[in-house]
Structure 1
Amino acid sequence: MIRKTIFALAAASLALPATAQQVPDDLTTMPDVPDDYTPSRTPWGDPDFRGSWPLNDIAELPVNRPAQYGDRFWKTEEEIAAEQGRVEQLEEAYESEDEEGTIGLGHWIEYQAGSRRTSMIVSAQDGQLPDLTPEGKRRAALMRASWITGQTFDWVTDFDSWDRCITRGFPASMFPFRYNNGIRIFQSPGNVTIMLEMLGTRIIPVSGEGEPWPEGVDGWFGNSRGRWIDDNTLEVVTTNIKPGASALNVATRGVPSGNTLPMSEEVTVTERFHMVGPDTITYEMEYSDPIVWEDDFTLRANWSRDDDYEFYEYACHEGNVQVRNYITADRTKRQQEYERGAMVEPIDPDAGPPPAMDPASRGAQQRNSEETE
Structure 2
Amino acid sequence: MALTGRLRLLACAAALALAPAGASPTAAQDQDLTVLPPVPDDFAPSKTAWGDPDFRGTWPISHLNGLPLQRTPEQGNRVFLTDEEFAQRDERIEGLANRYDNEDAGDKIGQGHWVEMGETSRRTSLLVQPANGRLPEMTAEGKRLSALMRSSWRAGQEFDWATDFDSWDRCITRGLPASMLPMQYNNGIRLFQAPGLVAIQLEMIHEVRIVPVDGTAHDVPAIGNWMGRSRGHWEDENTLVIETTDFRPGPSATNIVTTGSPPENDTPISTEAKLVERLTMTGPDTIVYEMTWSDPVIFTADWGARLDWQRQDDYELFEYACHEGNVQLRNYVTASRAERAKAAAAEK
Partner of 1:33: 39
Q: Give the 5 Å matches for 1:123-138.
A: 123-138=129-144
Alpha-carbon distance, 1:146 to partner? 1.4
Aligned equivalent of 1:182, options 163, 182, 188: 188
- 1:288-346 Cα offsets, whole Å, 9 max, x none, are 1100000011111111110010011111127621110111111122222333447xxxx
- Give the structure-2-normalised TM-score: 0.87
Letter in 2 for 1:52: T
| Unaligned 5+ runs, structure 2 | 7-20
| Contact persistence 1:149–1:258 (CA under 8 A) | no
Contact 1:74 1:118 in 2 (8 A): yes
Q: CA deviation at 1:90?
A: 4.0
Cα distance in 1 for residues equivalent to 2:121 and 2:272: 34
Contact 1:233/1:275 (8 A) holds in 2: yes
Secondary structure, counterpart of 1:106 in structure 2: helix
| 1:288 matched to 2:294 | yes
Report the Cα distance in structure 2 between the residues aligned to 1:42 and 1:22, rounded to whole angstroms: 33
CA deviation string 1:98-151 (max 9, x = no partner): 344323221312433431210111111111100000000000011111122222
Q: Distance in 2 between matches of 1:50 and 1:43?
A: 12
TM-score, structure 1 length as denominator?
0.81
How much does 1:227 deviate?
A: 0.2
1:337 maps to 2:343: yes
Aligned counterparts of 2:238 and 2:254: Cα–Cα separation in 1 = 28
SS at match of 1:202: strand
The size of the alignment, in residue pairs, is: 326
- Letter matched to residue 198 of structure 1: M
1:21 match = 24
- Separation of aligned partners in 2, 1:223 and 1:35: 28
Change (3 A) 1:322 1:258: farther
| 1:140 and 2:143 correspond | no
Distance in 2, matches of 1:96 and 1:336, equals 39
Task: Tell whether the 8 Å contact from 2:172 to 2:324 is kept in structure 1 after alignment.
Answer: no
Equivalent residues in 2 for 1:1-373, closer than 5 Å: 1=1, 20-21=23-24, 25-199=31-205, 200-215=207-222, 217-244=223-250, 245=252, 247-250=254-257, 252-317=258-323, 320-341=326-347
Corresponding residue for residue 15 of structure 2: none
Q: CA-to-partner distance for each residue in 1:129-175, whole Å, 9 max, x for gaps?
A: 00000000000011111122222111111111111111111111111
CA distance 1:129–1:25, shift in 2 (3 Å): same
**Kept after mapping to 2: 8 A contact 1:268/1:288:** yes
Instruction: State the partner residue of 1:11.
Output: none
Instruction: Determine the C-alpha separation between the residues in 1 that align with 2:141 and 2:302.
Output: 16
Contact 2:60-2:188 within 8 A present in 1 as well: yes
Deviations 1:340-372 (A, max 9, x none): 447xxxxxxxxxxxxxxxxxxxxxxxxxxxxxx
Distance 1:91 1:22, change over 3 A: closer
SS at match of 1:95: helix
- Structure 1 residues 314, 338: closer, same or farther in 2, change over 3 A? same
Distance 1:291 1:89, change over 3 A: closer
The structure-2 alpha-carbon separation of the partners of 1:71 and 1:97, relative to structure 1 and needing over 3 Å to count, comes to same
What is the CA RMSD across the aligned residues, in angstroms?
2.3
